[in-house]
Amino acid sequence: MRSVETVLFLVVVATVVATFAKRLQLPAPSLLVVAGVIVGVLPDVPVIEVTPDIVSLVVLPPLLSAAGEELAWRDLRAVWRPVTVLAIGLVLVSAAAVGVVASAVTPLPLRTAFVLGAVLASTDPVAVTALGRRLALPPRVQALVQAESLFNDATSLLLFRLAVLVAVATGSVSAAKTLTAFGVLAGGGLLAGALVAAGAFLIRRRTEDPVLETVVCLVTPYAAYVLAESLSASGVTAVVVASIVLETQVTRLTTASTRIQLSAVLDTVVFLLESVVFSLIGLQLPALIRRLSGADHAWPLQALALAAILMAVRVLWVFPLSAITSHHHERRSPWQVAAVVSWAGTRGVVPLAAALSVPLSMGDGPLPQRDLILLLTIAVIVISLVVQGFTLAPLVRRTGIAMPPRLLHQERTEARMRLAQAALAYLEDVSDNESAPEFAIEQLRHSWKLRLDRIQAGNSDGELETDPAAYRQLRRDLLAVETAELDRLHRGAAISDANRRRIQRILDLEQAGLSDDEL
């Protein structure tokens, strides 16, 4: 029971931390990890045993799905070549480097050190996506770091399984078996994700109830993960593939009101899961330190060395890759992009799940230093989230690659102007064909011309006859008056509760369309 109370307390702490993070413009995952460490050192805090199933099966699928939905298929196609090099080559090099350094600076045997290297080799999609949401990175850079973190799981998982095989069973590994295992992991995950996406598509196309569609959306990532894992394939890859495929069809699957409800529900689920998992990462560190109180006290230096080698290997890999890519395309790729991509490789939930799944014993006895593997993994994750998390935004500002708010606003405004112009052109066609009543066409034409005028006014740098902010505020005031009158009618029994709810939903949808970002 105390563990449940601690998790609820972490949710409350996470809500407070997220509020201050937004005000202070600091990354919430990094602050959550720090908060978890602080809570963990408090007296009488119960030890929460985090199992691999909790992280891998309960927490990971919806967070991966949310990360996959934020990656557009168009952007993925544009960066698949460098993503392939990073997701395979960099993972292999990182695992080897960490294994060598760990065997030299820690008491881990060589075979066990390479298990640790495989655990820490890949970047984490949950952490990268959570940190990247607040940065206005160029689309290609955002897609590159996000796609790399989403698709390097197959490589790291293969390395992890091979390393565990060697460490635990002292089994032999052949090139043919390795390629076959990689094909099963990646290809099986791809197939499982595509099958689940097709099934979810068919169900959602025939579902008009927003509640049922929300349930299907919540179940889909779990179905993809379980199906892939049952086939000995990569569950992470399956979830990512399913989410990317469904994202391309989202406007064909749902109505506007359903999308609003889905967004609210999924955002809440993602916030709660991210809050708990990042807080638990920090909370595990003090508990592991107490458990290993009699062990080697040099683990902080060892963790720093491992984190440093991961960062160094990434820098040494990304900068030459950037130079080669720029030469191949015969255009200059600035060092600023390489610097941001190098520094965006944080570790997080996926390495934690891998470390927790390290077996307790080997063929002839307990696996040596398993707790040390877990401690070093969590310590490196904390270092990564704190050091890289707190410094990534300043680095982005320093390099100047972030898209200025003015350009983002201009792009959004121009797009909305073209939408309004397309709608007006359609009305002209309808009018010429006389396929609708003229009074309805005139009313809509007048409404859309006013909308176009407001958009153009909002993009003007001169004096505005109509202040768009004042217009939105006046509409909010009118909606507030209508809401108050609706409440008065309901209190006076002039309208039923069912009709009150329906009308209130219409008013809420209008209110939602008046956000500053919609202008």
pLDDT digits (tens, 9 = 90+) for 436-466: 888 888 888 888 888 788 777 765 444 444 5
pLDDT at position 394 over 50: yes
Q: Which residues of 326-353 are buried (b: 16+ CB within 10 A; e: fewer)?
A: eeeeeeebeeebbbbbbbbbbbbbbbbb
List the single range of 22-26, 276-280, 416-420, 422-426 with lowest mean pLDDT. 22-26
pLDDT, position 32: 86
pLDDT mean over 4-14: 78
Strand partners, 361: 366
The percent of the chain in helix, strand and coil, each rounded to the nearest 5, is: 80, 0, 20
Residues 389 and 411 in one domain: no
pLDDT of 515 higher than 80: no
Domain count, the chain: 2
Kindly tell me if the per-residue pLDDT of 342 is higher than 80.
Answer: yes
Same domain? For 306 and 344 the reply is yes
Instruction: Say yes or no: 367 and 416 in one domain.
Output: no
Residue 367's pLDDT band, with cuts at 50, 70 and 90, is low
* pLDDT level of residue 362 (50, 70, 90 thresholds): low
pTM above 0.85, yes or no: no
User: Is pLDDT larger for residue 161 or for residue 81?
Assistant: 81
Contact 301, 375 (CB under 8 A): no
* Cα–Cα distance for residue pair 294/332, rounded to 1 Å: 54
CA angle 24, 29, 32 (to 5 degrees): 85
234, 188 contact by CB (below 8 A):
yes
Q: Is the pLDDT of residue 272 over 70?
A: yes
pLDDT at residue number 172: 58
The model's pLDDT over 182-220, given as tens digits with 9 standing for 90+, comes to 788 888 889 999 999 999 999 988 887 888 888 999 999
| Domain membership of residue 26 as a residue range | 2-403
Q: What is the mean pLDDT of residues 113-121?
A: 90
| 517 has a pLDDT exceeding 80 | no
The mean per-residue pLDDT over the stretch 361-376 comes to 72
Lowest mean pLDDT among 175-179, 352-356, 420-424: 175-179
In the predicted structure, residue 251 carries a pLDDT above the cut 80: no
Q: What is the structure's pLDDT at 174? A: 66
What pLDDT shows up at residue 111? Answer: 82
Please check whether residues 352 and 420 belong to one and the same domain. Answer: no
Q: 399 with 412, same domain?
A: no
Average pLDDT over residues 329-341: 71
CATH number at residue 193: 1.20.1530.20
**Kind and range of the H or E element at 191?**
helix 175-205
So what's the pLDDT on residue 276? Answer: 82
61 shares a domain with 192: yes
Question: Do 149 and 55 lie in a common domain?
Answer: yes
Looking at every residue in the chain, the average pLDDT score rounds to: 81
* pLDDT, tens only, 398-414: 888 887 777 777 777 78
pLDDT of residue 138: 82
Shared domain for 398 and 480, answered yes or no, is no
61 and 203 in one domain? yes
Question: Residue 365: what pLDDT?
Answer: 54
Helix (H, G, I), strand (E, B) or coil at 502: helix
pLDDT of residue 464: 43
Whether the per-residue pLDDT at 326 is higher than 50: the answer is: yes
What angle do helix axes 349-356 and 370-383 make, rounded to 10 degrees? Answer: 180
- Judged by DSSP in three states, 401 sits in coil
Place of tokens 């993972």: 91
pLDDT computed for residue 328 by the predictor: 47
Same domain, 297 and 209: yes
Nearest alpha-carbon partner for 226 in 188, 269, 278: 188
Give me the pLDDT at residue 516, please.
46
Q: Residue 518: which pLDDT band, with cuts at 50, 70 and 90?
A: very low
Residue 66 sits in the same domain as residue 143: yes
Task: Identify the weakest region by mean pLDDT among 35-49, 309-323, 358-372.
Answer: 358-372
From 342, 371, 403, give the residue that closes a domain.
403
Same domain, 75 and 201: yes
pLDDT at 86 over 60: yes
**Residue 141 DSSP one-character state:** H
Predicted confidence at residue 316, as pLDDT, reads: 93
Which residues lie below 8 Å from residue 452, measured CB to CB, with a gap of 6+? 417, 420, 421, 424
Domain stops at, among 341, 368, 403: 403
Highest average pLDDT, of 56-70, 92-106, 232-246, 274-288, comes from 92-106
pLDDT reading at 331 higher than 60: no
Query: For a pLDDT cut of 70, what percent of the chain falls above it?
Result: 89
The residue among 354, 375, 403 that closes a domain is: 403
What does the H/E/C string look like for 447-482? HHHHHHHHHHHHCCCCCCCCCHHHHHHHHHHHHHHH
Quick one: average pLDDT of 340-365? 79
